[in-house]
Amino acid sequence: MINKIKETRLLHGGDYNPDQWLDYPEILKDDVRLMKLSKTNTFTLGIFAWSALEPKEGEFQFEWLDEVFSNIQEIGGKVILATPSGARPAWLSNKYPEVLRTTENRMKMHHGGRHNHCFSAPIYREKVGIINRKLAERYGNHPALLMWHISNEYGGDCHCELCQENFRSWLQTKYANLENVNKAWWGPFWSHTYSDWSQIESPSSIGENAVHGLNLDWKRFVTAQTIDFYQQEIVPLREMTPDIPITTNFMADTHDLIPFQSLNYSEFAKHVDIVSWDCYPAWHNDWEETQDLAVKVGFINDLYRSLKKQPFLIMECTPSGVNWHDVNKAKRPGMHLLSSMQFIAHGSDSVLYFQWRKSRGSSEKFHGAVVDHDNSEHNRVFKDVANVGDALEKIAEVKNSMKHAKVAILYDWENNWALNDAQGFSNQTKQYPQTLQKHYKSFWKKDISVDIVTPEQDLSQYSLVIAPMLYMMPEEMMKKLREYVEAGGTLVSSYISGLVNETDLTYLSGWPKDLQAIFGIDVKETDTLYPKDRNAIVFKDKVYEVRDYCSIFENKQAQALANYEMDFYKGQPAVVKNQLGKGTAYYIGARTEQAFLDDFYDELIKQLSVGENMGILHEEGVSIQIRESEDDKYYFVMNFTERVQKIKAVNEYIDLLSERVLAGEAFMKPYEVFVLKMKK
Amino acid sequence: MINKIKETRLLHGGDYNPDQWLDYPEILKDDVRLMKLSKTNTFTLGIFAWSALEPKEGEFQFEWLDEVFSNIQEIGGKVILATPSGARPAWLSNKYPEVLRTTENRMKMHHGGRHNHCFSAPIYREKVGIINRKLAERYGNHPALLMWHISNEYGGDCHCELCQENFRSWLQTKYANLENVNKAWWGPFWSHTYSDWSQIESPSSIGENAVHGLNLDWKRFVTAQTIDFYQQEIVPLREMTPDIPITTNFMADTHDLIPFQSLNYSEFAKHVDIVSWDCYPAWHNDWEETQDLAVKVGFINDLYRSLKKQPFLIMECTPSGVNWHDVNKAKRPGMHLLSSMQFIAHGSDSVLYFQWRKSRGSSEKFHGAVVDHDNSEHNRVFKDVANVGDALEKIAEVKNSMKHAKVAILYDWENNWALNDAQGFSNQTKQYPQTLQKHYKSFWKKDISVDIVTPEQDLSQYSLVIAPMLYMMPEEMMKKLREYVEAGGTLVSSYISGLVNETDLTYLSGWPKDLQAIFGIDVKETDTLYPKDRNAIVFKDKVYEVRDYCSIFENKQAQALANYEMDFYKGQPAVVKNQLGKGTAYYIGARTEQAFLDDFYDELIKQLSVGENMGILHEEGVSIQIRESEDDKYYFVMNFTERVQKIKAVNEYIDLLSERVLAGEAFMKPYEVFVLKMKK
Amino acid sequence: MINKIKETRLLHGGDYNPDQWLDYPEILKDDVRLMKLSKTNTFTLGIFAWSALEPKEGEFQFEWLDEVFSNIQEIGGKVILATPSGARPAWLSNKYPEVLRTTENRMKMHHGGRHNHCFSAPIYREKVGIINRKLAERYGNHPALLMWHISNEYGGDCHCELCQENFRSWLQTKYANLENVNKAWWGPFWSHTYSDWSQIESPSSIGENAVHGLNLDWKRFVTAQTIDFYQQEIVPLREMTPDIPITTNFMADTHDLIPFQSLNYSEFAKHVDIVSWDCYPAWHNDWEETQDLAVKVGFINDLYRSLKKQPFLIMECTPSGVNWHDVNKAKRPGMHLLSSMQFIAHGSDSVLYFQWRKSRGSSEKFHGAVVDHDNSEHNRVFKDVANVGDALEKIAEVKNSMKHAKVAILYDWENNWALNDAQGFSNQTKQYPQTLQKHYKSFWKKDISVDIVTPEQDLSQYSLVIAPMLYMMPEEMMKKLREYVEAGGTLVSSYISGLVNETDLTYLSGWPKDLQAIFGIDVKETDTLYPKDRNAIVFKDKVYEVRDYCSIFENKQAQALANYEMDFYKGQPAVVKNQLGKGTAYYIGARTEQAFLDDFYDELIKQLSVGENMGILHEEGVSIQIRESEDDKYYFVMNFTERVQKIKAVNEYIDLLSERVLAGEAFMKPYEVFVLKMKK
Ligand SMILES: [Zn+2]
Ligand SMILES: [Zn+2]
Ligand SMILES: [Zn+2]
């Protein structure tokens, strides 16, 4: 079931916690006034409000929430209503300690924090069910209700006995019998054969932690169990509000901005109506250039957009700094508009903030917010927000427009789990998602749209599929890639691919035959280098530095594009090209510097015509992303540098933000952004 | 009740543990001989002697201690007698396991170590009471008894159920009802509202750890509970020996030599007759210059002296190296005399050592001591000690003389707790005490006496009060500072001040009005920089580097003294001066390099005449500290460099150490020290 | 009882785990074929096969093992049969949880991992006894059975109540009464006097951890208890197979390749018939030169060889890379032969691998093996192995030949335990085994054989004994060294020697008289330097850098060879020479750079004629090691550099590997090795 949001505006607003301010009526009044001034229209209510909604077991207080609903409705605003399961009241932990998690080293947690309930405890499911139903009953038909926001930032795992039992049941369903488990997990190694289901326990630093099949299945179970909990949460909502879309807010792992690792969102995304997520890049940091960070932000937005291939929502971001980075630096002038437009450019239909108002106490009181402790509309951040509100109104027509990509990069959550858990290679340098981001960068620099797809997705629509470092590659994936190439596709893969199947068992009899057919080579060794080691390859008379990994392979029928310059495999091929059926496959055997990827893909881009001639010339650091409606194209031209940039427009465009025509030479200030509209 | 020590000599001696040597009668005899040779006069007995005093429950053995008392008395020495609660016998832990601590993650400790008893356990209080009473009965009237030394280096906390109950009682007394707790701790955040007292638990890494109000109150409770235990310890002593002064030895946090963080000594100091503490600087280290470390030593001695504004005691220091630093380097020739004189110069009336004699076994056997394992008076350290003993005799007249400061730096223990716990800014760079030390350094370099005062102390006596980084500033503190300025005082404060009240709730409606009135500005933002980021300010045509923090503020009525050179607030004021009533206030908005502080305070020093013309000119690295009796002044001139230093004396002085007259040019050897006497 | 291996070939083969492949009959068949091709002859079976041998309690399955025995026998191979105690089946942990270890912080482990059974649990001993007896019954007379391999890589400790009780019994046997314990452990310190045996507990981070005597005795107990378990394991084997030799595989601590620290192998070696061990150097790393690592490999092989002064076995090594280093780099061409020959050169009679075949799943599947996942004889590693097999056949005659050394370096396991536990000096720089390796290097560079002996071994056969950093030196050791010198020996010792006795109690009355007599000096201080501190010494007009430690001593009668250049002990002696009786002793007071040791020992080598004129000249990086049979000498000439090396042979030699005559100038390729034979 897919429900769309019933709202024509781009959403602007964010998490609003009036429950913290019930003793401060003048603050609640100011909120309404400031909402209007800030050009915000959407507010997420009720996250963490359980204590306010049910201060004692079975005693509910909704009056305060009724009033907030009314206030928002009166100013034409909309509500995203959260279920409160992300943090429970103290009375609940106290009376029902089974809701508390058990850590991996089998310590029973005490009450405190948030996001830490057992996903199995029946009583927790029951209590959440009751309050969710109450919320749906009371607000399900409220005209301001736009969407459900289930819990908050699901994550983590629990190792209590209830969860152990659920894990065993899940395994029984998957494997039918213990013999299959022992085979899949390579049981006889270290005598780890199970002879009774009760012997299976979740991985633990004080128990079993080296059985990769177990580790992998535990992670899969945690995703399944979290989704199971989520599905139980939404039962009353689906029943009573069948037309209200449902989401839950996804995350990224910071500070490197790689996909969240604790849950497989490609599974979870199937169960939400709209993907939404919380994005907190560390702008203006001191370890990378702004454009490098912009690439990472682009990558992960494209991944989460591609999960459902629909516009998604930024559910949380900050109008200023956060308070939980190592260093919490405020956004410089211009950055808030630029970074907000970047979200829209990559497919978001919202800019929502954590948080509307800084709380007065506790751990997030210094997290950036629309309204600061000064309760004033006159400070820099508030004005930046109002400015973004203004911009979102000007570009409202981009809502629901799509991105169309001819290039796909494959990201597989489970592959990263398995690879990171693998004992081998070097833990310092595996870096699977970071490697994908480097491939992605070659396209970002050239303004080419990219989908970041997951293993189940269809590849046939893409001219180019990039799938490096697929350490764990089930046989179906090989078949899928082979069919894709045979049918005319172009595929790029790399070192550390095709080593194990879906339970982390290695392939026997050498590199899989399907892969040999695709790439025309037989991979013999993966040389793992020390951090200071270097090799090099030569590609079209240019030398590129190589580090970390070098595949050594036998070239069976491929065309060598680049050879190694050093070490005992000097002169042997490092990069090859192979024809198969109507298609072509490339294997990049070594971890090269960025320049190689840029030059390598530059040719492919030309050959495959995956770029689009937008008629706008620019230097490095300016990025253009496209959204496309039925009739129009929208070019988001973004200056991710601290320099004035000269660009050259071959055609005439209307900049929706400045409402001026752009043609010929133009200058972009640092962090400036244009949203250019073109009829198709 | 304030009791003074009845002793005219400066105390010289230290911790003496004959209980370790009862099987070695010849060693005990040598001790007496060596005490005389080393010119020591005071010995602390009984720390950790519980097993020797009460080898089995209720069976006491005092004969060995009687004899040690006699021996010391015979050579004219004095005894500081310790209560033995710092480490309990194994029989006690075994029979009464409730005396063992529970860690913050709720693990019950086993027997071992020291300084680790539960402060709540009634049986421990009872057993300590019994043995303390026995000691007072037996030695209370002994002529050699000089002072009580309660336990040893109190610290740490216990999370057992008894302590949880005491914490809840303490909270009930403080807050009266749960509603007040929920308000003070901003309960509704993350649904953390308590509905029953029993739900409150101490902070834990496996429970609640992000409620700042809870964390802060827990720290306050730990201080209160520790003092409560201490007060129970001294009941029999006050009863039986009302005239014997009582102390307990305070500590610093190494290796940076900042105030001890686990306890609020400004509270504890109210309950001791004399402040004493244990000082272990890492002289001759490889990360700072000797004078930089001397500044830190000076700062912390001035803080502990200012707690009671009386001469204090160095209860422990080492004549050589310690054994628990990362690197345990011996003092170079001259350093022991210099560093001993530095203690006296800052107000100590003692140089006491841990330890008289190196133990033969266990973990402190390589800690520096007067008597080494060679049991000889012929080694370098022993001679250094005797040399200090000689010097202390020569300068005995400085005993009870005072320091008089016109400058105060405000240090607030609770402010550092709250600031370090705050999620915001950057954890790497908060550095509140270290920042105070940098301000202090500007005065140290110019030989100006400084008191380091705590929030309750009177400010009216000071011409200049320096109070930077007062993140947590209760309203009374603002009033106090405002009154101080209005009455004619000069106040300096800085970035990150005035953000939260005493329960870590932020002030609403902008920077507090009282602070705006004092400084003539309204602080808008605190920009937190990454470690490699730099800005700069210009002050009197000189450029100074800025890092870490930059306040951005609206200048309402102040005079800008320095402006920012870079970033989006370029040209805006960074340092201002404001007149209020009869006084003046300065706000330093950025974290500057030391040179700025030096130049900034140089002017203030001149304007306010807070310096004293001692008539002795010297270069950097030489420091002069003054003590003052009714009739005389004593200038401690100390060379904290590895160079010969030329100084110039305008007047004639008598050097009490060399017993020579100093006038005109003179040379100081590396680490040399003069104690110059001047009639007032 | 000493049993010798009944086998004339050098052993080549390794750990073979057919129990992982019982479902893959074609793999088992391939194994036999590949064994022949790889020129391997010996296979270790049954490590971790408990689940396969006894899938349910009391139900045994030996048929599969019978067949493997037959297969190996058919190709003329031999079996080393392991007892399976290194990892238990899940049913055993489940039914008898007392077999699970308790950690030092008193957490009960869960089932999982390996090498983690309680050494005390009676039921575990019983179950191991039963299966060991079954194995002996079934295979004891099998003609292929060569040796027993008891368990696997014994290590670690258990803190359960059973182990606590055994520890107390062990202490009662050692100390007779508690008074002796309290004296030996310096009980009164911190009131740590025990009044009842039940008060004694093993060291714990949540209990007692600072009593060095306790820590030391716990480590001794762990060694004793492990050996006790081992001895129980071998009861049925000795009974039923009295002529089959028994070993267990020892380890080193990586990555620095220092002796394994958890067990005192000098004790354990007394109980095995043959020493065997597992050696995993990180060849081709990026932090040291190949020859530096070769020195460490040489050192530790010489230590393990010297434990019994017999040829030993390399029980595990890798033909390629491992999978558990930080970076797992493959051996470069030539390195496998070179490093295999190095083992033989230092006294090994085997090159055995972990592992025959890479497993398909679980944590070691990427560990180097003879047979890779490709199941092929055509890859580089397999060919390297066959090449080593070939070489081992060519040099088979060196089997049982010995090494004869006139130089001994003393390594004392307990000394390193005590020194590392000592609170004092600097934890960053103690580095006792690493320091020995530096002394060793001076001899390695000059191709001089060295025994690394342990305290109980006879010294009289050596011309030169090197015993630096003997922090813990029982009085018997002093006597032994004194007698050795008086009888004409030459002894070298260094800073941090002779400080404590065997229970870590310091010597009183100064540096021990015996040591004063030996070295002619009285050590007064050990100056501990910060990492950036430097001093220097002058020896024969050359200046050598000094860091970390400088002894300061009074020269009583010695001859000063080198003096300090700096600091307060400038000009004082740093290195001395002393005559005592017919012998000479040297004391090196400071930690010098390698060049000093090289130059210092160069003279001693000449004076004492401890070198052997082999008539082969070479540059640095080439190493020659000698094995000697009754009639012949074998010179292993090894190029541990990445350069071609020119060597010059004064005599004529036969290179057993190339089967050519070597005479005059010759060139060695990088990593090349010659095995030159010379009639005596
Ligand atoms: Zn659970
Ligand atoms: Zn307690
Ligand atoms: Zn045990």
Please give the model's pTM, rounded to 2 decimal places.
Answer: 0.97
Question: What pLDDT sits at residue B680?
Answer: 87
Strand partners, B550: B527, B590
CB-based contact C193 B373, cutoff 8 Å: no
Q: Does A199 touch chain C (CB under 8 A)?
A: yes
Cβ–Cβ < 8 Å for A284, A332? yes
Question: What pLDDT sits at residue C254?
Answer: 79
Distance A154 CA to ligand 1 centre (A): 14
CB-based contact B190 A48, cutoff 8 Å: yes
CB-based contact C510 B111, cutoff 8 Å: no
Q: Which tens digit of pLDDT belongs to each residue from B289-317?
A: 999 999 999 999 999 999 999 999 999 99
Tokens of A653: 């465009």
Q: Which tens digit of pLDDT belongs to each residue from A36-47?
A: 999 999 999 999
Please give the backbone phi and psi of residue B118, each rounded to the nearest 5 degrees, phi first.
-70, 130
The CATH number corresponding to A616-679 among 3.40.50.10860, 3.20.20.70, 2.60.40.1180, 3.50.50.60 equals 2.60.40.1180
Place of tokens 């016109």: B406
Closest-approaching ligand to the CA atom of B124: 2
Q: Which tens digit of pLDDT belongs to each residue from B105-139?
A: 999 999 999 999 999 999 999 999 999 999 999 99
**What's the average model confidence in pLDDT over C97-107?**
97
Q: Which tens digit of pLDDT belongs to each residue from C434-470?
A: 999 999 999 999 999 999 999 999 999 999 999 999 9
* CATH superfamily of the domain spanning C407-608: Class I glutamine amidotransferase (GATase) domain (3.40.50.880)
Alpha carbon of residue C560 to chain centroid: 36
Q: Which tens digit of pLDDT belongs to each residue from C632-679?
A: 999 999 999 999 999 999 999 999 999 999 999 999 999 999 999 999
Question: What pLDDT sits at residue C2?
Answer: 58
Distance A162 CA to ligand 1 centre (A): 5
Q: Does A292 touch chain C (CB under 8 A)?
A: no
For chain A, list the contacting chains (3+ Cβ pairs, <8 Å). Answer: B, C
**What's the average model confidence in pLDDT over C233-252?**
98
**CB < 8 Å to A373, chain B:** 506-510
Q: In the structure, what pLDDT confidence band is assigned to residue A2 with cuts at 50, 70 and 90?
A: low
* Pairing status of strand C313-316 against strand B11-16: unpaired
Of B27, B114, B360, the CB nearest to C506: B360
Distance A108 CA to ligand 1 centre (A): 10
**What's the average model confidence in pLDDT over C575-588?**
98
CB-based contact B506 A358, cutoff 8 Å: yes
pLDDT at residue C271 tops 70: yes
Q: A323 vs chain B: nearest CA distance in angstroms?
A: 4
Determine which one of C54, C233, C267, C316 is catalytic.
C316
**CB < 8 Å to A111, chain B:** 199, 201, 207-208
What is the Cα–Cα distance from A410 to A493, expressed in whole angstroms?
10
**CB < 8 Å to A547, chain C:** none
Segments making up each domain of chain A, as ranges:
11-159+235-398, 407-608, 616-679
Tokens of C271: 């109980």
Which site among A53, A158, A373 would you substitute to test the B interface, given the most B Cβ atoms closer than 10 Å to its Cβ?
Answer: A373
Q: Does C94 touch chain A (CB under 8 A)?
A: yes
Say yes or no: do domains C11-398 and C407-608 share a fold: no
**CB < 8 Å to A569, chain C:** none
Of A94, A329, A376, the CB nearest to B198: A94
Question: What pLDDT sits at residue B2?
Answer: 58
pLDDT at residue A1 tops 70: no
Of A204, A506, A510, the CB nearest to C110: A204
Q: In the structure, what pLDDT confidence band is assigned to residue C1 with cuts at 50, 70 and 90?
A: very low
Q: Which tens digit of pLDDT belongs to each residue from C15-47?
A: 999 999 999 999 999 999 999 999 999 999 999
Cβ–Cβ < 8 Å for A351, A317? yes
The ipTM assigned to this model is 0.96
Nearest residue of B to residue A103, measured between CA atoms = B206
Q: Does C208 touch chain B (CB under 8 A)?
A: yes
Q: Does C56 touch chain A (CB under 8 A)?
A: yes
Could you say which DSSP state residue C272 is in? -
Q: Does C113 touch chain B (CB under 8 A)?
A: no
Q: In the structure, what pLDDT confidence band is assigned to residue A4 with cuts at 50, 70 and 90?
A: confident
Q: In chain C, pLDDT over 70 holds for what percent of residues?
A: 100
Q: Does C64 touch chain A (CB under 8 A)?
A: no
What is the Cα–Cα distance from A209 to A206, expressed in whole angstroms?
8
Q: In chain A, pLDDT over 90 holds for what percent of residues?
A: 98
* Share in percent of chain A as helix, strand, coil (round to 5): 35, 25, 40
* Pairing status of strand C145-149 against strand C246-247: parallel
Q: In the structure, what pLDDT confidence band is assigned to residue B190 with cuts at 50, 70 and 90?
A: very high
- Mean per-residue pLDDT of chain C: 97
Closest-approaching ligand to the CA atom of B164: 2
Tokens of C371: 């047979």
Which site among B57, B103, B366, B384 would you substitute to test the C interface, given the most C Cβ atoms closer than 10 Å to its Cβ?
Answer: B366
- Mean per-residue pLDDT of chain A: 97
CB-based contact A211 C327, cutoff 8 Å: no
Of C507, C531, C568, the CB nearest to B332: C568
Cβ–Cβ < 8 Å for C191, B49? yes
The CATH number corresponding to C11-398 among 3.90.650.10, 3.50.50.60, 3.20.20.80, 3.90.730.10 equals 3.20.20.80
Determine which one of B54, B267, B316, B672 is catalytic.
B316
Q: Which tens digit of pLDDT belongs to each residue from C315-366?
A: 999 999 999 999 999 999 999 999 999 999 999 999 999 999 999 999 999 9
Distance C595 CA to ligand 2 centre (A): 58
The secondary element (H helix, E strand) that includes residue C52 is helix C50-53
C153 is catalytic: yes
Q: In chain C, pLDDT over 90 holds for what percent of residues?
A: 98
Q: Which tens digit of pLDDT belongs to each residue from A522-545?
A: 999 999 999 999 999 999 999 999
Q: Which tens digit of pLDDT belongs to each residue from B40-99?
A: 999 999 999 999 999 999 999 999 999 999 999 999 999 999 999 999 999 999 999 999
CATH fold for the domain made of A11-159+235-398: TIM Barrel (3.20.20)
Of C189, C210, C426, the CB nearest to B328: C426
Find all residues with CB under 8 Å of B270, minimum gap 6, and list them. Answer: none
Could you say which DSSP state residue A614 is in? -
The CATH code that applies to domain B11-178+221-398 is 3.20.20.80
Q: In chain A, pLDDT over 70 holds for what percent of residues?
A: 100
Ion ligand 3 neighbours (CB, 5 A) are C 118, 120, 158, 160, 162-163
Nearest 5°: the CA angle B57, B59, B61 is 130
Which of C:334-393 have CB within 8 Å of A? 358-367, 373-376, 379-380
Q: In the structure, what pLDDT confidence band is assigned to residue A369 with cuts at 50, 70 and 90?
A: very high
Exposure letters C315-339 (e unless 16+ CB within 10 A, then b): bbbbbbbbbebebbbbbbbbbbbbb
Cβ–Cβ < 8 Å for B410, B467? yes
Q: Which tens digit of pLDDT belongs to each residue from A412-466?
A: 999 999 999 999 999 999 999 999 999 999 999 999 999 999 999 999 999 999 9
What is the Cα–Cα distance from B115 to B97, expressed in whole angstroms?
15
How many B×C Cβ pairs under 8 Å? 176
A316 is catalytic: yes
pLDDT at residue A680 tops 90: no
CA nearest neighbour of B151 among B82, B210, B251, B212 = B82
Q: Does A195 touch chain C (CB under 8 A)?
A: yes
Question: What pLDDT sits at residue B1?
Answer: 47
For chain C, list the contacting chains (3+ Cβ pairs, <8 Å). Answer: A, B
Q: Does A46 touch chain B (CB under 8 A)?
A: no
**CB < 8 Å to A510, chain C:** 373-376
Could you say which DSSP state residue B429 is in? S
Q: A406 vs chain C: nearest CA distance in angstroms?
A: 36
pLDDT at residue C78 tops 50: yes
Distance C156 CA to ligand 3 centre (A): 11
CB-based contact C373 A426, cutoff 8 Å: no
